Structure 1
């Protein structure tokens, strides 16, 4: 499958996963008042699980593999740290600038998720699902 097709499918999958992720983040942070790291942990796990399941079958058309699954878990653990760190840092920064909480949360999410998604695509395409 071409790079363009895989990138397109990865972006569509990312959109679906982002709805799951951001929806849960908003629910736990804004509705239930969880601190950013806790809310982001729950939403990240749900979003990345959704992404892995769709990407393995549709984007990369790969068979089940314990080795690949472990590699993705390690990758997601690393991008999780980057993602939660950026989400927390940006949220504090933006609220410090006087932004409303919801706007700060969404802007921080876009930055953190965009960074994590870029890293995930490059590593999955070049190393895990090559």
Structure 2
């Protein structure tokens, strides 16, 4: 089995736990009368807290300290997912008359795909090495140096970096 599939399976297992947390909190909040959109935001937030910790440590096996970029990227991906799911929840429940918990289940299925792609592409993807951002699996040292030489502030620095790539 390839690493991509193993990562996806781990992500899905963490997602099951996140979904349970999300659903339990959502059901409790809506049962006591909290507005369904507010309940969605609170319950989703509870799930993503678990998601960040478990996906970082287990799914994507990060051992280094969390970076500001990683946390901000994680929050942005989840805010996009949350906004989309809130919109879909409103459409399914208010516009189409689908039962509330069934609507929640359907949007949860959609959110897993969106979240995996966003998390894989934008959150747990790169690391810093020697001042360059790179992906171990897709980039060699010389191609990183060459790409970074393009953005050098002066011509001589770009020439030195390009020469070092040869």
- What range is the shorter-chain TM-score in? 0.7 to 0.9
TM score, norm. by length of structure 2: 0.68
Gaps of 5+ in 1: none
Gaps of 5+ in 2: 126-166
Structure 2 counterparts to residues 79-118 of structure 1, below 5 A = 79-93=81-95, 96=97, 104-118=99-113
Q: Where in structure 1 do 4 or more consecutive aligned residues deviate above 3 Å? A: none
Over aligned residues, Cα RMSD in angstroms? 1.6
CA shift digits 1:44-80 (9 cap, x unpaired): 1101111111101100112322211110101111111
Larger proportion of helix: 1
* More relative contact order, 1 or 2 (CA 8 Å, 6+ apart): 1
Shift of 1:93: 4.1
Structure 2: how far apart are the matches of 1:34 and 1:85?
18
Aligned partner of 2:71 in structure 1 is 69
Cα contact 1:36–1:88 (8 A) shared by 2: no
TM score, norm. by length of structure 1: 0.86
Q: How many residues align?
A: 122
